[in-house]
Amino acid sequence: MSNKSIQYLEFKTNHFGGVLINPSSLPNETVYFANQLENSLDKWKKENFLLAWLEIPISNSRLIPVAVDLGFEFHHSSKNYLMMTYQLEENAFIPPYATHYTGAGGVVINEQDELLVVSERYRGSENSPFIYKLPGGTIHEGEHIAEAVVREVKEETGVDTEFEYLICFRHWHGYKYGKSDIYFVCRLRPLNYHITRQEAEIADCRWMPIQDYLGSEQVTAFNKRIVEATLSNKGLNTAEVDGYPNQSMHEFFMPSRST
C-alpha cells in the first residue's frame, strides 16, 4: 500500500490526553503532510485529546513551516530535531522543557590545610586581577553529581580526587538564555597533589592556604562561605534508597544515620 493512501498521521497516546506523532512516519512532501496533519488535528479534537506533540527530524525540516501555519508552536530542540506542540483543547497544559543548567564545584583540601583553587582565563581583560574560585563546571547529560565534580576538578587542575559528601547548593535565576542554574558544591579528598592546569580555560591554579583564601580580596563572599561551611559541617553523603535499585538513574544525598 502506498504511503499516499494514509489519511492520517501515525501516532500513539500518553496518560495525559496527549497525542505523540510518530516522527519516522512523517512524509517528505509538504503538501501531503499538510493534508495529513490538518485531517489528524480535526480527528483528534473530535476525540477530545488535549495536546499534540510533533517531533520533526532535522532531515525533514521542510515540514516546520507547514506545522507553524497550522498553529503549532516551538517547544524545544536538540541538534537533531525540533519538538512542536498544538493545543487541541484551549488552554491545555503544556509541560515545560528543561528549565535549569546544573553545575558542580569541589572543595579539595590537602593535608597541609591548603585549598585547591583556580582563576578562569576569561575574566574581563588580561589586566583584571585573578578571582580565585573552586574548580568545577557543567554536569553532562546522564552524569551523576558525584561523578561530574571529580571529572571537572581533574580536567581543570589535573588533580585526582574522591567524592566525600555534598556541602551545599545555590539556586540562581536569570542565568544563560533565560534559564536558571543550580550549582552543587562537594567535598573531595585529593588522591594526588601535582597540578596540571587546563591552559585553554584556566589562567592560574594553585594550592592556597585556607586562611589566605578566606582573607583574600580576590575571593567572593559566596566562595568564602562555602569553605567555612565545609570546615564546620559534615554535609550529605551519597545513599541508597529502597525502591530505587537502578543507581545509574538515581542519586541520593542523605545525612549520616546516627549510630
| Residue-level pLDDT, tens digit, the chain, 259 residues | 344 455 899 999 999 999 999 999 999 999 999 999 999 999 999 999 999 999 999 999 999 999 999 999 999 999 999 999 999 999 999 998 988 999 999 999 999 999 999 999 876 556 667 889 999 999 998 999 999 999 999 999 999 999 999 999 999 898 887 889 999 999 999 999 999 999 988 999 999 999 999 999 889 999 999 999 999 888 888 888 888 877 788 888 888 765 4
Q: What is the residue range of 181's domain?
A: 100-238
Nine-digit cell string for 5: 493512501
Q: Do residues 28 and 73 share a domain?
A: yes
Nine-digit cell string for 128: 583584571
Question: Does 94 reside within a domain?
Answer: no
Q: Do residues 151 and 232 share a domain?
A: yes
pLDDT at 71: 97
AA identity, residue 77 = S
Question: Does 243 reside within a domain?
Answer: no
Strands 51-57 and 18-21: parallel
Q: Do residues 139 and 168 share a domain?
A: yes
Q: Is the dihedral of CA 192, 218, 180, 256 positive or negative?
A: positive
Q: Do residues 153 and 191 share a domain?
A: yes
Nine-digit cell string for 28: 517528505
| DSSP 3-state of 257 | coil
Query: Which CATH number goes with the domain that contains 112?
Result: 3.90.79.10
Question: Does 49 reside within a domain?
Answer: yes
Of the residues 58, 87, 116, the one at which a domain ends: 87
Query: Which CATH number goes with the domain that contains 24?
Result: 3.40.630.30
Domain count, the chain: 2
Instruction: Find where cell 581543570 sits.
Output: 156
Question: Does 252 reside within a domain?
Answer: no
Q: Do residues 71 and 183 share a domain?
A: no
CA distance 187 to 105: 9
Q: Do residues 111 and 195 share a domain?
A: yes
Instruction: Find where cell 554535609 sits.
Output: 235
CA distance 72 to 87: 8
Q: Do residues 41 and 126 share a domain?
A: no
Q: Do residues 106 and 223 share a domain?
A: yes
Question: Does 251 reside within a domain?
Answer: no
Q: Do residues 40 and 140 share a domain?
A: no
Neighbours of 72 (CB within 10 A): 23
pLDDT at 198: 94
Q: Do residues 122 and 191 share a domain?
A: yes
To the nearest 10°, the Cα dihedral for 86, 88, 93, 94?
-20
pTM for this model (two decimals):
0.78
Question: Which ranges in the chain belong to alpha helices (H)?
Answer: 30-46, 64-69, 145-157, 210-215, 221-232
pLDDT at 176: 83
CA 137 to each of CA 33, 156, 189, 217, 246: distance values in angstroms, whole numbers, following the listed order: 43, 9, 18, 23, 25
Q: Do residues 176 and 211 share a domain?
A: yes
Task: For residue 101, give the nearest of 182, 201, 217 by alpha carbon.
Answer: 182
Q: Do residues 74 and 144 share a domain?
A: no
As a whole number of Å, the CA-based R_g of the chain is 25
